[in-house]
Amino acid sequence: MVTDSAPAAPGRPMIQIIDLHKTFGEHKVLTGINLTIPEGSTCVILGGSGSGKTVLMKHMIGLLKPDHGQVIVDGEDIVPLGDAALEKMRRKFGMVFQAAALFDSMTVFENVAFPLREHRKEMSEEQVRQLVRAKLDLMGLPASVEGRYPADLSGGMRKRVGLARAVVLEPKIVLYDEPTTGLDPITTAYVDEMILAAQAKLKVTSVVISHDISSAFNVADYIAFLSKGVIVEFGPPEQLRESQHPVVRNFLETWFGKN
């Protein structure tokens, strides 16, 4: 169990959170987060609703400034950075949202090409086409989907298109925001396989925000369990399974009792 010092894990740190505090009005959300995520690993931030997972994620990409503490991304403390430097730093991240967050009015090709057209304006249309095709290939999506719209795709395919778009700028880190929420077991397994394949093929550092224990056990190298603003357990999935922390034990028993 770790509550007052940064959890240690082997490998070069890609993300380090040091004594992070955040309060909104009278509500203390983060009360001393310490967390180290090694380069190339998959870390699941696990916790119940209202535990502070989303607030922590927003600090990782500089959308929120802490009241106190450091957020070190790829060796750089991002807390003091101004808007221009933060914008540049965020290009190290790819984001996969809960509902894939694709543009309904755009085809699959246009969705994946969108970040390139926004941030790689020097690329020719042929270069854009080749890179989009390469990322769709990587996700196991055939050329026949390029002209289809998100509404025409299955939930699992939309997730894969969302991930292709997230990695088209070749980020070092991919953040997944509740990727399995509301999905049936078959599609959940499909998404788990997608996360594992992306990590293996792209060698990215993956951070998954979730409350789904089964999925966490499937994909994580490390699980950080967040409760009442602090990390109360950090380690490989088998360590979490054996945790004696009462909040973790109750969460596990409640989850497996319902599923």
Residue 19 maps to a domain: yes
Q: How far apart are CA 159 and CA 164, in angstroms?
A: 9
Residue 4 confidence (pLDDT): 45
Among the residue ranges 68-72, 79-83, 248-252, the one predicted with the least confidence is 248-252
Final residue before a domain boundary, out of 143, 170, 197: 170
Domain boundary among 170, 185, 210: 170
Domain membership of residue 125 (yes or no) is: yes
Continuous H helices in the chain:
53-60, 83-90, 108-119, 125-138, 155-167, 185-202, 213-219, 237-241, 246-258
Residue 99 falls within a domain, yes or no?
no
Domain extent at residue 116: 104-170
End position of a domain, from candidates 118, 153, 170? 170
Q: Is the pLDDT of residue 64 over 70?
A: yes
162/81 same-domain check: no
Residue 258: pLDDT over 60: no
* 88 located within any domain: yes
pLDDT value of residue 184? 81
Q: How many residues does the chain have?
A: 259
Q: Which positions ≥6 away from 54 have C-beta within 8 Å?
A: 177, 209
- What per-residue confidence (pLDDT) applies to 9? 57
Six token digits for residue 195: 């996360």
202 and 83 in a common domain = yes
Give residue 6's pLDDT: 45
> Is the per-residue pLDDT at 122 higher than 70?
yes
Residues 48 and 62 in one domain: yes
1 with 32, same domain: the answer is yes
Same-domain pairing of 7 and 80: yes
pLDDT reading at 59 higher than 80: yes
Burial of 159 (0-12, 13-18, 19+ CB in 10 A): buried
User: Model confidence over 170-189: pLDDT tens digits?
Assistant: 999 999 988 887 778 888 88
pLDDT for residue 81: 96
- Pair (233, 165) in one structural domain: no
**pLDDT above 70 for 1:** no
Token pair belonging to 82: 């101004």
Our count of domains for the chain comes to: 2
In a domain, 230, yes or no: yes
With the CA atoms of 86, 43, 204 and 97 taken in that order, what torsion angle do they form, in degrees rounded to the nearest 10? -60
Q: Is the pLDDT of residue 103 over 50?
A: yes
Closest-CA residue to 60 (of 135, 220, 172)? 172
Average pLDDT over residues 159-168: 89
Q: Residue 97: inside a domain, yes or no?
A: no
Q: Are residues 73 and 187 in the same domain?
A: yes
Residues 199-255 have pLDDT tens digits of 888 889 999 998 888 889 999 999 999 998 999 999 999 999 899 999 999 888 887
Do 1 and 87 belong to one domain? yes
Residues 88 and 128 in one domain: no
pLDDT digits (tens, 9 = 90+) for 124-145: 999 999 999 999 998 889 999 9
- The reply to whether 256 and 188 lie within a common domain is yes
Read off the CATH number of the domain in which 74 is found. Answer: 3.40.50.300
85 and 199 belong to one structural domain = yes
Of 99 and 92, which is predicted with more confidence?
92
